[in-house]
Every structure is written in C-alpha cells, then in structure tokens.
C-alpha cells in the first residue's frame, strides 16, 4: 500500500479538460484528493456523468475520493455581449443597465435588479474579477453612466463586483437549495457555500438538508468583507472554510489579502476546521507547462501558513495541462513539507495553538491532540492511530501538522470521505461492531504491511464506552 506523496490535500475542479474518467484517474495518481464540481457552470446531466466517473475511479483505485459540490450563490454577472469580447478603453464612457438587452461596447446589461440601490455617484464597479474597473459618474433613468478607469476585453456573463457596497440579495436562494437537493439525490454530502456573510447562512443550508433526512458537511467560502468580520461565528457552525481569494480580492483592498489569508487559516486551525486556500494558485499553468516563481511561492506560503488543502480551478477545469498542474502542486507540497520540521512547529501559528490552551479552558480532546503531536515527534512515531465516529480527534491532531500520517479508522463512509480533506489524515473504513476494534486496526496495518517490529505507534482512544467523541487518553505502542 502506498500513501500519497504529500500530506497537504489538493482540491481539483473538474470541467471539460478533466471530465473524462481516464483524466480523473490520472489526476488522482498525480495527487488529487478532492474533486470539486462547480455548479455555476454546465447542466445537471453533465455533473451527474462526472460524478459517476469519479465514483468509478474511487472504486478502481481503492481510495476515498470525496466530491465537493460548489453552490454558486448570488454571483452577479453581466448579460450577453453581442459579438464579444468587446474592448473597453481607458477613459471611454459606458452605460450599465438592468434592462434585459444584448450589450455592446457602449452599454452593458447587468443581471442584478437592485443595482441602483447598491451604487451611487463615485462608486467603483469591477468587471471580470477586477481586471476591468469602472467609476460611476451619473445615475438616471435606470442607467448608470460610467467611465472606464482600467480597460480590457470583456465577454458575456463575466462577473461583476461592487466593492464596499451593500448587496441587497439573499446569499442562499431557492435556486441554490435546489442544487443542494440535486447533490443530495446523487449522494454528495460536502457542499461549498458561496458568498456566506453570517452563521445563519450556513445554518439555513444545514437545516434544509436535515429536513431531507441528511447530515451534510459545509465548506463556507470566505469571499465577502462581512464574512471576514463574522468569521468566528461562521467557524462555529461550518465544517470547513475556503479562503476564496478571487471575489474576496475585489471586496476588500487587494493588498490586505495576504494578511487576511493568514488570519483565516490561523482561526480555522484553532477551531480544528479544515481550510482550503483557493484562486489562481497556479493559474499560468492553464496555458503553460510551468508555473511562475511567484505562484510556486504562493502555494508554499499557504502550506507554511497551515492550510489543509490547496485548490486548482481553471488549471484543471479548462486548462491545457491539468495533470501536470496537479503534479506540480504535489511537488511543491512535498518540498515545503520537508521544512515543517524547521519551520512550522517553531512558528507563531503553532505556538499560538499551544498558548490558546493556556489562555482558555481547554477541552480534554485539545490537550490530547497537543500531547499526541509532541509525543509523535519525540519517539518518531510511525503513525498516529485515531479510531473515530465523527472525525473530530483526527482533525484536532491534524491542525498541529505532525510529521507522521494520521490513520483515522471510522465506520462511517461520509466521515471517511470528509477526513480526506484534512492535512496528513488517511482514512480507513472499519466495522467496530464485528470484532475488537483495536485488534482489527492492528490486523489492517499488518495486512497492508504498514508496520514492522520495532515501530512506535500512538493510539488515541476514549475510555467511556458507547460514547461518540470523548477521546480522553493516548498510549504508545511498540510493535512486536
């Protein structure tokens, strides 16, 4: 049995360049851990077929390959542009309208009915992820006369952002709930929730799934200024977060993004929530066989910040080199993880985790997770073994980024798949009712030739029987 090359998990967006079963298999072999389906694009049948391909690859390779369905949320887009793309030149005048028309180089339809309640004279309007910038000069007759501040080519249905503006829109629409229903029908239990502003947005989605008899895992995409302000409350109710730097980079001043990223990752680590760092990580590999030096550095820095996973979007969805992009990200992760011994465990982030247990009343599970990590370093443990019903113990240990793999044994397939998102966690399915679970774990390790005489293992366990959670002890095992 072979473990993945990197402990950092890699999320890959599947699209036209990676929809095929053969390519999906190559992506997994190159290092993909999580498949992302972006429901903002393509029809249900297309995603259903992609999901079928993913499940077949998962079965063939004998791995857990979780699927995250990304719910688009209320992303504002422009309408259709005739004979697009059109070139907008700096200084030219252009109108924005909410009328249902076909646009051109002088007037652009916007698919947001409350546009004129969100902007005023002097407001900035960003198009195409901020690459094109307009300034509102005048508003009249349901049209906004704007001047192009930064020009560029604009095509149909590109995104529109209104930095610092109040959005009069529900982050979770009926359409979004319909997409979640589709995902539940297809057996998906991990959902990326876009444009989250507050904890109630996540609770609304979870309650919707609960009424359908399903428990889901939510990944709150942090891409609005309100979400950054409300991050503590959002983390309490979310199962994971994504630092979605694309839209976030036009909602806040772009120079603030690096520090916001570090703060979000630190907060997620402190609360044992997996965190994904996303957007343009290796974007130049959409068209080139090699990334830029700054992109390589960006990926490495996110890992050193403590992220659980890095994400590829257009690189694997529509890029010319999807497999090569995954392999490159794996190579960067492997190289960076070698330096954890010299960097991460001496970092301010890791020290903050330790100190937080002293500042606040810690849970027993927090103390166990910290001592498990420290003990694994001292004795050079081969693995940390975590029997788990919910996955919480494995995630608590994962945030400390131990040098060895965390082998999580669970009877719940949904939990096993979600654990595949956490740094350094490798999940196994185990039926704890059939036999003594400790004996079964050791049998699995021997069957798969993962241990030998003289190896040290660390086992976390709960001494209170028939209780979910409640890990309250650890022991060191010398393999004989």
Q: Which residues are catalytic?
A: 36, 77, 221, 279
Q: Is the dihedral of CA 356, 360, 361, 363 positive or negative?
A: negative
Distance, CA of 194 to CA of 171 (rounded, Å): 7
Q: From 224, 221, 266, select the one nearest 239 (Cα to Cα).
A: 221
First to last CA, the chain: 21
The distance between the two most distant Cα atoms of the chain, rounded to a whole number of Å, is: 82
The 3-class secondary structure across 46-92, one letter per residue, is HHHHHHHHHHHHHHHHCCCCCEEEEECCCCCEECCECCCCEEECCCC
- Please enumerate in sequence order all residues whose Cβ is within 8 A of that of 403, keeping only pairs 6 or more positions apart, or say none: 340, 341, 376, 377
CB atoms near residue 184 (< 10 Å): 18
Distance, CA of 182 to CA of 214 (rounded, Å): 13
CB atoms near residue 188 (< 10 Å): 21
Distance, CA of 231 to CA of 224 (rounded, Å): 10
Q: Where are the alpha helices (DSSP H) in 190-321?
A: 199-211, 225-229, 231-237, 245-251, 257-270, 293-305, 314-317
Distance, CA of 132 to CA of 204 (rounded, Å): 34
Distance, CA of 371 to CA of 396 (rounded, Å): 11
DSSP state of 159: B
Taking a C-beta distance cutoff of 8 angstroms, is the pair 324, 291 a contact? no
3-state helix, strand, coil in the chain (%, to 5): 40, 25, 40
Q: 394-403 as b/e, with b when 16 or more CB fall inside 10 Å?
A: bbbbbbbbbb
Distance of CA 346 to the CA centre of its chain: 26
Distance, CA of 109 to CA of 97 (rounded, Å): 5
Burial of 289 by CB count in 10 Å (0-12 exposed, 13-18 middle, 19+ buried)?
exposed
DSSP state of 360: S
Helix (H) or strand (E) holding 459: strand 456-461
């Amino acid at each position: 049995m072979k473990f993945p090359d990197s402990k950092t998990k890699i999320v890959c967006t599947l699209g036209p360049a990676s929809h095929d079963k053969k390519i999906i298999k190559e992506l997994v072999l190159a290092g993909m851990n999580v498949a992302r389906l972006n429901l903002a694009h393509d029809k249900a049948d297309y995603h259903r077929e992609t999901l079928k391909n993913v499940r077949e690859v998962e079965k063939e390779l004998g791995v857990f390959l979780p699927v995250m369905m990304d719910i688009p949320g209320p992303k504002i887009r422009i309408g259709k542009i005739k004979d697009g793309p059109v070139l907008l030149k700096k200084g030219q005048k252009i109108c924005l309208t909410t009328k249902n028309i076909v646009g051109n180089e002088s007037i652009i339809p916007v698919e947001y009915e409350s546009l004129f309640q969100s902007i005023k004279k002097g407001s900035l309007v960003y198009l195409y992820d901020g690459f094109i910038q307009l300034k509102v000069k005048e508003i009249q007759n349901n049209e906004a006369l704007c001047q192009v501040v930064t020009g560029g080519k604009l095509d149909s249905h590109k995104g529109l952002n209104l930095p610092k503006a109040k959005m009069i829109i529900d982050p979770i629409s009926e359409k979004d709930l319909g997409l979640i229903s589709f995902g539940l029908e297809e057996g998906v239990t991990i959902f990326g929730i876009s444009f989250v502003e507050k904890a109630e947005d996540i609770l609304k989605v979870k309650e919707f799934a609960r009424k359908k008899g399903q428990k889901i895992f939510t990944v709150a995409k942090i891409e609005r200024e309100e979400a950054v302000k409300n991050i503590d409350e959002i983390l309490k109710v979310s199962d994971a977060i994504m630092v979605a730097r694309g839209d976030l980079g036009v909602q806040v001043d772009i120079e603030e993004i690096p520090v916001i990223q570090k703060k979000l990752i630190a907060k997620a680590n402190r609360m044992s929530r997996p965190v994904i760092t996303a957007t343009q990580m290796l974007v130049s590999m959409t068209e080139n066989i090699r990334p830029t030096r700054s992109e390589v550095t960006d990926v490495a820095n996110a890992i050193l910040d403590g992220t659980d996973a890095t994400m590829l979007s257009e690189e694997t969805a529509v890029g010319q080199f999807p497999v090569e992009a995954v392999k490159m990200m794996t190579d960067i992760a492997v190289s960076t993880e070698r330096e954890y011994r010299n960097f991460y465990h001496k970092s301010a982030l890791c020290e903050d985790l330790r100190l937080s247990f002293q500042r606040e009343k810690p849970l027993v599970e927090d103390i166990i997770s910290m001592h498990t990590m420290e003990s694994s370093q001292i004795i050079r443990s081969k693995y940390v073994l975590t029997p788990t019903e919910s996955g919480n113990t494995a995630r608590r240990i994962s945030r400390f980024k131990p040098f060895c793999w965390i082998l999580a044994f669970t009877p719940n397939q949904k939990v096993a798949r979600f654990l595949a998102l956490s740094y350094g966690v490798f999940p196994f399915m185990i039926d704890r009712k059939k036999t003594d679970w400790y004996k079964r774990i050791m049998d699995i390790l021997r069957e798969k030739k993962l241990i030998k005489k003289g190896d040290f293992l660390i086992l976390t366990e709960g001494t209170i029987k028939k209780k979910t959670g409640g890990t309250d002890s650890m022991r060191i095992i010398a393999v004989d």
